[in-house]
Amino acid sequence: MNQDISRDPIAFISQADHALSTLWIKELQLAMPEEKILAFSDMSAIEREQCRVAIVANPDPAELSTLPRLEWIHSVWAGVERLMADLGDTKLKIVRLVDPQLATTMAEAVLAWTLYLHRQMPLYKQQQKLRLWKAQEYITPAKKTVSILGLGALGEAAAKCLISAGFKLCGWSRNPKQIKNVQCFSGNDGLKEMLAQTNILICLLPLTPETRYLLDAEKISMLPAGAELINFARGAIIRDLDLRAALDSTHLNHAVLDVFEVEPLPPNEWHWDHPRVTVLPHCSAPTNRNTASAIVAKNIENYRLSGAIPAHVDTRRGY
Amino acid sequence: MNQDISRDPIAFISQADHALSTLWIKELQLAMPEEKILAFSDMSAIEREQCRVAIVANPDPAELSTLPRLEWIHSVWAGVERLMADLGDTKLKIVRLVDPQLATTMAEAVLAWTLYLHRQMPLYKQQQKLRLWKAQEYITPAKKTVSILGLGALGEAAAKCLISAGFKLCGWSRNPKQIKNVQCFSGNDGLKEMLAQTNILICLLPLTPETRYLLDAEKISMLPAGAELINFARGAIIRDLDLRAALDSTHLNHAVLDVFEVEPLPPNEWHWDHPRVTVLPHCSAPTNRNTASAIVAKNIENYRLSGAIPAHVDTRRGY
């Protein structure tokens, strides 16, 4: 009996297409050969009855509610605010993916698109269209301040890369932090002080009730004229129409946006053909199925051994 | 008399416009207040008679030939192949600029545009134009080989940045070299071996009789299908129409070109609107007037003290 319970099947629940779900199940099964991982649609009534753990990637909440013994779910994504909203008031524990590879990939994306702005690639692209040969004045990175909103694992890894590239670094977090070679700020006054000296602002915050629409017209106006912005976190952290106004007035020179309130970004949205916007399809730091599966496997193994559910999301704090 | 000779005036000779020449003379004069630095057009007949050293930025050779005692010229640029061609068979010693800041700025440019290709920015730009939301498969830098042609000061600095970013590095130079974490090649066979395993090829070679048209149809065909190329050195290192053919056939996926056989790139050239070409206006590593002036000043000070002309270009080797 114990043996049975210790090897209850694990559901993989996702609204992704069949091909992608199959890739995930294959990779997860390879990472934990002793477990039985099944797509929700492939589970028998008895298997659904037994299931205590599910691995999820944008799951249909209705499917989760058909698993009576389900105790916890492991997301293969780092951001879980949509999952929490979908589940509402629940006793289910949510474990989000904390993958060092994700921080590495995100830090690379931050470096890549910071250099894209620093080296004025959008302007040179426009000049190419006009067949205009004109080298712009070059400013060394030591004379530019890059500020990161959010100093968790992703923010710290990104800061390290940007320091190596020679930029001056500032960072802002909910609670005061100390990071080598980063001028750290916290609180509302700290945010204002930081924004006033920022040339390139990078958003890596989780979306919570406190960060929703954090960047509105007032905050954006505190940035110096000509500042630039990268949002690799969640669309709703920026008030979209305030961003548009700041770009239209050229107060903001350019925005690189990888995330939007509605994704995929609908074809009629203004961002697509705004000359000061680079639209990316949520590609800054894709989950690596291989490293993510190894981490999920490790967490499930620990749970099998100790019965303890891994560190999970604080639903009040929101991450 | 000795005193007079030790402080002969220094000519600044350039075909740049008056405003830019004035900026240069101002910065150079600040860096060596004991010297008398004059624009060629401002020099008296006696001053021209006395002048033994000239600082040059794309000079008119006719002006140089009116200075009877001229011994050596200090270019404020790193590339001197045009200067050598203009001067022809001459006894004048040519000193080129070797500025660590230049290597830093060039390494940054190499990193920036390598990440531009690695992160598929040209493709995402096209998708934005089509309002297409599609995240491409992400490949980690550990699975990509970046190869550098030219392992001088610029190539070594660039390699270091790319290794930090996680890429596999290869490098090719005229003479065999050893650089930590770089698989080094030399010679014609070495070049072929390296090209066959290269995903992104970066050209940082000086233009010499040996490197002119080094990259022709045969060499380009040795790169794997879908390879990409960055030329930050000199246009004539690549056979232009062979490059075009390789891009047209999609054997090469993309080329970032900062240098061309004729600069500014004429408006009717094919590069401007080729979808697989990024045209840059020779902006990858602009000379920094401030750091360059300090280096020129140091070289001239040494010459004043010892009478020895600093390390100069080997006109047979070409750099």
Q: What is the pLDDT along chain A (319 residues), one digit of tens a residue?
A: 344 445 799 999 999 889 989 999 999 999 999 999 999 999 999 999 999 999 999 999 999 999 999 999 999 988 888 888 888 888 899 999 989 999 999 999 999 999 999 999 999 999 999 999 999 989 999 999 999 999 999 999 999 999 999 999 999 999 999 999 999 999 999 999 999 999 999 999 999 999 999 999 999 999 999 999 999 999 999 999 999 999 999 999 999 999 999 999 999 999 999 999 999 999 999 989 999 999 999 999 999 999 999 888 887 777 7
The catalytic residue among B48, B234, B254, B276 is B234
Q: Is B282 an active-site residue?
A: yes
Closest partner residue to A111 among B115, B272, B286, by Cβ? B115
Chain B residues with CB under 8 Å of A124 CB are 278-281, 283
pTM: 0.88
* Contact check, Cβ <8 Å, B281/A104: no
Q: Residue A279's closest chain B neighbor by CA?
A: B128
The answer to whether A275 faces chain B, any CB pair under 8 Å, is no
The answer to whether A109 faces chain B, any CB pair under 8 Å, is yes
Chain B residues with CB under 8 Å of A121 CB are 112, 116, 121
Q: What percent of chain A has pLDDT over 90?
A: 86
| CA dist B140 → A161, B42, B166, B167, B311 (Å) | 16, 58, 8, 8, 42
* Contact check, Cβ <8 Å, A119/B105: no
* Contact check, Cβ <8 Å, A265/B104: no
What is the widest separation between alpha-carbon atoms in chain B? Answer: 77
Q: Is A276 an active-site residue?
A: no
Closest partner residue to A272 among B128, B282, B283, by Cβ? B128
User: How close does chain B come to A194, measured CA to CA in Å?
Assistant: 26
Domains in chain A, start-ordered, CATH in brackets? 10-99+287-306 (3.40.50.720), 102-279 (3.40.50.720)
* Contact check, Cβ <8 Å, B125/A125: yes
What tens digit of pLDDT does each residue of B225-262 get?
A: 999 999 999 999 999 999 999 999 999 999 999 999 99
